[in-house]
Amino acid sequence: MIDIHCHILPGVDDGAKSIRESLEIARAAVSEGIKTIVATPHHKNNRYTNTKQSILEQVGELNGHLQLAKIPLTVLPGQEVRVYGELIEDYERNEILTLAETQYLFIEFPSDHVPRYTEKLIYNLQMSGLTPIIVHPERNQELIERPGILYSLVKNGALTQITASSLAGYFGKKIKNFSFQLIESNLTHFIASDAHNTHSRGFNMREAYEVLEDTYGRELSFILQENADLLLLDKNIYKEVPEPIKKKKIFGIF
């Protein structure tokens, strides 16, 4: 299994605080059946700045520690970029890091809204040869209230990644149900852990895929896992035509 979203690098953001914690996270990953992780530290989210070169160096150091500890896990470089106005310029300055140096780039929205310039930014990213992946849209308050925004972005070429813990119900019923809606409307393309530690923000990948198989069958679970493989190979992923989410009527109230 491949996890394309994890905060395993030590001391760079709100994930692992030390090499010891990084190794704990690595062991937890292996116990889940994960063989490869893309390290995705936060970048430009008002708290953390982790540029491309610094991440490449730290990933190399962590892989060295994993080899010494004989933990059968490979860590690849990535970045979780909070959207901002100068993102394209910083990419051209070689400060932005795609996932495992492929065409795929993680972009993150603030938790409560989607910036107005997002549609234009996603278009410009694609014109620069990148494929943007919106991380954890199921936890964005504006997207929950106005899912048509996400439909428009996906229709215009963006991909999305939902969090395993969301699908497994650890963020609450509302977010779990919205995750199901995203899947049913072909509005998501990857499942990843977004793991930060081994206690409050763990992997839950195996559990998420079990929920997925129980609800939708083995084929969809296989496709989403295969998409992570295709991403690392820098190939086009499997995706269906997106559909608008229809708000369900509950007790006579929309």
What is the pTM (predicted TM-score) of this model? 0.95
Q: What length is written for the chain?
A: 254
Measured distance CA(69)–CA(128) in Å, rounded? 40
Helices (H), the chain: 19-31, 52-68, 87-92, 118-127, 141-145, 148-155, 164-167, 173-184, 205-216, 218-232
What pLDDT, in 10s, does the model give residues 87-102? 999 999 999 999 999 9
Q: What are the tens digits of pLDDT across the range 215-247? A: 999 999 999 999 999 999 999 999 999 999 986
What is the CATH architecture of 2-232? Alpha-Beta Barrel (3.20)
pLDDT at residue 6 greater than cutoff 50: yes
> Rounded to whole angstroms, how far apart are CA atoms 80 and 39?
9
CA 60, 63, 65, 68 torsion: positive or negative? Answer: negative
